[in-house]
Amino acid sequence: MAVSVKIDPITRIEGHLAVRLDIDGGVIQNAYIAGEMYRGFEAILQGRDPLDAQQITQRICGVCPISHAIASCAAQEAVYGIVPPDNGRLLRNLIQGANTIQSHVLHFYHLAALDYIDVQPVAEYKGTDQEIISLKKWMESQSGSGGLFPLTPFLPKYSGGYITDPELNIMFVKHYMDAFKIRSLSHQMGAVFAGKLPHAPSIIPGGVTQSVSVSKILQYKSILDQIRTFIDTVYIPDVIELAIAFPDYMAIGKGYGDLLSFGAYPENETGEKKLLTPGLLVKGEIRDVDPIDIREDVRYSYYSSASAARPFESRTTPDAKKQNAYSWLKAPRYQGRALEAGPLATVMVMYLRNENSKIRTLLDNILKKLGKTPQDMNSTLGRHIARAIQCKVIADRCSEWADLLIPEKPTYRDFMIPESGRGFGLTEAPRGALGHWIELEDRKIKTYQCIIPTTWNCSPRDDNGLPGPVEHALAGTSVADSENPLEAVRIVRAFDPCIACAVH
């Protein structure tokens, strides 16, 4: 029987996202995903002092603000003709690294894990772990009749196949609790050099306003050591454990396989060398990225501005009553292709190019343990595995970057703002390829456009009717019970959507 199921809102993600699934014979035939809220940051920026941009765009999101600051500064630096000195570049990498680690741990434990683990065994817990005991007490204090836990984040949830082993569930719950501390530590670590987080006033065009001292380096590194231990001994093993428990999900949620990475974390002053390298995977072939090939379609988006415009020409004119539109996200396309952004893209581009021996070894070891191949990474659990690998590679490198800082050396360069000019800045936010495009006139912002990883991933259909990457990954999925579309939410959440960013 054909049914149409709406999940609205889909919870445990950032922002407001609705999913409509047309299900027939237990299989998703078509998926439509919709960002449900207009924000208007690009309009807010018009006419302002360009130096407001890296501050205002950070407010697009509380999860990935540092990446917005860095993309904005890079776009401005392209106009001002400057780059940060080594200390400034390293400080940015260290702050962005801290923010990305926080985001990845948040995503796996606090947004996605509850799709797989069952919290119920906590209610029967007889052990001595004080944190589990206090969670059990909290649950009891929240419970109504019948032992239900009516409050989020644990309920309501879809019924379906969760982990059944009580000990494994308790272990995951324990790590869920530990992950709060790791996120807090990540923020503290980033704030050593950012001044404060999540929104950092210290990141400015030309570098970072904070100074470097031996005590700050030691402070950063001592926190990082704790975080790296968690990544190595908890996060990565847990992702593998999940892949062992849910082997089907190394096939469910297959995307187009066309991937986009802008690259991030410059390793030298010019930024030609980066820790995460840019690249595209299209039809199984690795290519270089040329941003000129990016356009944004709006045929099915609530905008009356022109469709298929390149970012410098693109405008964002809201039209809430537009016929046939169903999402507030635009549909970015690269040479007409719907590319997937995210750690899967960066990790696979680098893996296939054999550019980073750590990524190759980590991924090969994990795949060997699971009896899977690199092709299986194009899947729901492949996205989680890639995120964990990226998290480790960034955390490990942060430790080395901290050693490269030179106390008392400059952390920023001065600059002049020209009358006019245009530039763009690209980076890898936690959720993937992020770009900001700025044009100045009379030393003010004439236009500002952001293209965001979740806009790529959760885009609606484009001018040619081509579904966005998440819509595509959902289509063809078997759903055991259309009243409980657990498979669908697992697929969507594995992309780590942020609609606050996507509809900026």
Binding site for ligand NFE (CB under 6 A): 14, 61, 63-64, 67-68, 429-431, 434, 452-454, 498, 500-502
Q: Is the Cβ–Cβ distance between 426 and 278 less than 8 Å? A: yes
Q: Is the Cβ–Cβ distance between 278 and 313 less than 8 Å? A: no
Q: How far is the CB of 255 from ligand NFE (least distance, A)?
A: 16
For the record, the structure tokens of 463 come out as 């001018």
In the 8-state DSSP scheme, what is residue 277?
A: P
The rounded distance, in Å, linking the Cα atoms of 470 and 11 is 16
- By C-beta, is 381 or 500 nearer to ligand NFE? 500
Q: How far is the CB of 17 from ligand NFE (least distance, A)?
A: 11
Half-sphere exposure of 22 (CA within 13 A, CB side): 6
Q: How far is the CB of 279 from ligand NFE (least distance, A)?
A: 18
- By C-beta, is 75 or 217 nearer to ligand NFE? 75
Q: How far is the CB of 60 from ligand NFE (least distance, A)?
A: 7
In the 8-state DSSP scheme, what is residue 160?
A: S
Q: How far is the CB of 494 from ligand NFE (least distance, A)?
A: 14
Which amino acid is present at 32? Y
- By C-beta, is 250 or 502 nearer to ligand NFE? 502
Q: What's 340-390 look like in SS3?
A: EECHHHHHHHHHHHCCCHHHHHHHHHHHHHHCCCHHHHCCHHHHHHHHHHH
- By C-beta, is 171 or 388 nearer to ligand NFE? 388
Q: What are the counts of helices (DSSP H) followed by strands (DSSP E) for the chain?
A: 15, 16
- By C-beta, is 77 or 86 nearer to ligand NFE? 77
Q: How far is the CB of 122 from ligand NFE (least distance, A)?
A: 30
Question: If DSSP codes are grouped into helix, strand and coil, which group holds residue 150?
Answer: coil
Which amino acid is present at 494? A
Q: How far is the CB of 38 from ligand NFE (least distance, A)?
A: 16
- By C-beta, is 12 or 68 nearer to ligand NFE? 68
The rounded distance, in Å, linking the Cα atoms of 7 and 461 is 18
Q: How far is the CB of 429 from ligand NFE (least distance, A)?
A: 3
The angle formed by the CA atoms of residues 346, 352 and 354, to the nearest 5 degrees, is: 95
- By C-beta, is 470 or 474 nearer to ligand NFE? 470
Rounded to 5 degrees, φ, ψ at 474 are: -75, -40
- By C-beta, is 157 or 504 nearer to ligand NFE? 504
What does R_g of the chain's alpha carbons equal in angstroms? 22
